[in-house]
Amino acid sequence: MREIIFDTETTGFDPLTGDRMVEIGCIEMVGRVMTGATFHCYFNPERAMPPAAEAVHGLSDKFLSDKPLFASQADALLEFLGDSPLVAHNASFDFGFLNMELERCGRPAIDMGRMVDTIAIARTRHPGAKLSLDALCTRYGIDRSHRTKHGALLDAELLAQLYIELTGGRQIGLGFGDSLAVSVEIETTRISLVRTDRPFRTPRPHQPLPEELERHRAFVGTIKDALWTEEERRALAPSD
């Protein structure tokens, strides 16, 4: 199954009050394996970047001033997304900004039914635990030492690793997605456990021979104070 892991960076928290998306990073996965295909773009938000937001992702007004408008990249982005499920951390936030940008340029909104929220998955698996991307990466031993600031594509890469862990780890199963053509050839060797170098001998009946029974009785007679003889004596004793 094809899935898209994505993350966004914005000028703030609420697209309904004028905040804009300034970066999106998308990673393609097929059968929970990253294919190497990505979509990444910065956008000119056509407004000033608040200092608090710039402190998080480091995207300044100067850096974004020559970047394309979202509308000019919308078709390429939608083509990359296709009709695949879209995975994000706190996905309603990213979906809110993505759909607002699509609406601003006259494109239809993406169906929320395609949304997969890794925070919701993590909350089910680790109730009461910290659910930030950083905290979950620490929990699963995902290296983020190269991450000094938030970045959409970098965070999407971390999220892709986290998503694999949250949904079964590297041993998700032995099945492969329909889109992956994997050929595995296994050479088997038949091993016979029956020896053929022995002469055939007719199986012996399992009843003991008379001389074997006599030797057994003689051996039992040598055992002193045997418990079973006491049991026999009680069984044969006349009842009162």
Catalytic residues: 150
135: left (phi over 0), alpha (psi -120 to 50) or beta: alpha
Q: Would you call 71 exposed, middle or buried from its count of C-beta atoms within 10 A (0-12, 13-18, 19+)?
A: middle
57: its two tokens: 């992702």
Long-range contacts of 171-179 (CB under 8 A, 24+ apart): 172/32, 176/31, 177/1, 177/2, 177/30, 177/31, 177/32, 178/1, 179/1, 179/2, 179/30, 179/31
Q: What does the CA dihedral 147, 151, 135, 111 come to, rounded to 10 degrees?
A: -160
Beta strand extents in 157-240 (DSSP E only): none
